[in-house]
Structure 1
Amino acid sequence: MDVKLKTCFIAVDDHDKALAFYRDVLGLEVRNDVSFEGMRWVTVGSPLQPDVEIVLEPPGANPDASPADRQAMAELLAKGMLRGVIFSTADCDALYARVQESGADVIQEPMDQPWGVRDCAFRDPAGNLLRFMEQPQV
């Protein structure tokens, strides 16, 4: 079976702040920026993974979501309760220094984990948890 990840979604409440973080701090490239019916979707991705995209979307962007569902999603986002993404990096400490310098909310400084990776964690401007993992050198 040939199955690969193509696209994942991260809810954001302010696309300009999200772009400043994902593009300017993390170095992801903007691949698409679409507005439709009062909503905006911005697609970003790593230049190292041209076939994988992250869509920054409004909370509750599903067209079938009720107003109550949209409100609940916005409230969960504001609390930092929505799931984020785990990124890999060749140098966790250098990435940590760059992201910390940007003023991002630090959740965990770089540390060696018992399962063999070195990682750190931040919240993006919308409150999503993002982890950055470095595989051990073999």
Structure 2
Amino acid sequence: MGTPPRIRQLRIVVEAEDYDEAVAFYRDVLGLDEEAAIAGAGGALVTILEAGRATLEIANPAQKRLIDEVEVGRQVAPRIRIAFEVDDTATRTAELVEAGAELVAEPTVTPWRSLNSRLNAPAGLQITLFQELDAEN
């Protein structure tokens, strides 16, 4: 038996001024499953949404610029951008725009063979939707 993993889960915690809008967008429109919703003293609320497998992608400034150039055609990403793998980037992008996300860049085929779109979403997050084109569905 191998050594147990030192990290069991990655959680990204985002403060949302419009909590209800953010929960509805990420849970109901994007489709992240609700793992837990907790209310605390003083009106404190948190909803934990399951996002499948998590990775932490560390990129140097040159790589960040390259990704922006490929996906958007100009520098737009903040220091932190959240990316979600989906089965149909075009359809999911349209759904998110209809639900209030701002389209930054239409779905674009990248040199690394994925179909990526970029959106500004609730809670001040810039997100990428990506579909692996060479993956078997």
Determine whether 1:86 maps to 2:83.
yes
Deviation at 1:42, TM superposition (A): 1.1
The runs of 4+ residues in structure 1 deviating greater than 6 Å are: none
Q: Which amino acid aligns with 2:45?
A: R
Number of the residue aligned with 1:42: 47
- The percentage of counterpart residues that share the same residue type is 24
Length, aligned pairs only: 108
Q: Which has the higher strand share?
A: 1
Q: Which amino acid aligns with 2:102?
A: D
Note the alpha carbon deviations across 1:57-90, whole angstroms, 9 max, x for none: xxxxxxxxxxxxxxxxxxxxxxx95624111011
Number of the residue aligned with 2:107: 110
Number of the residue aligned with 2:93: 96
Structure 2 gaps, min length 5: 55-76
Deviation at 1:29, TM superposition (A): 1.9
TM-score normalised per structure 1: 0.65
3-state SS of 1:22 partner: helix
3-state SS of 1:126 partner: helix
Structure 1 gaps, min length 5: 53-79
Note the alpha carbon deviations across 1:82-101, whole angstroms, 9 max, x for none: 62411101111111121122
Note the alpha carbon deviations across 1:38-70, whole angstroms, 9 max, x for none: 332111114xx3x76xxxxxxxxxxxxxxxxxx
TM-score normalised per structure 2: 0.66
